[in-house]
Amino acid sequence: MSVVAISIVGITNIVFNKIVGSLKNITSSPGMETGLKKWRSGIEAVISNFKRRFGMFRRDWKELNHFKAKVF
């Protein structure tokens, strides 16, 4: 989605991880920007720890039989 489309939907605070080109963070206050960045990094840490703990990595199964042999 583009920044314009997101704004039309009604989302008022947009923060990007890396600002490239014409993209800019759109927030109601500097504190909101900081909070959203910290929230995102916290979510990424939780996902990373979950994947590491349960050994969940990207798989490249090509057929259902390979999936069943590994999962079931």
In the chain, the DSSP E strands lie at none
Percent of the chain exceeding pLDDT 70 equals: 97
pLDDT at residue 21 greater than cutoff 70 = yes
- Domain hosting 64: range is 3-71
pLDDT at residue 26 greater than cutoff 70 = yes
What is the tens place of the pLDDT at every residue in 29-41? 999 989 999 999 9
The sign of the torsion formed by the CA atoms of 48, 54, 59, 63 equals: negative
Arithmetic mean of pLDDT, 45-58: 89
What's the total number of domains in the chain? 1
Q: 35, 13, 34, 32: which is closest to 24 by C-alpha?
A: 13
Q: Which residue has the higher pLDDT, 26 or 45?
A: 45
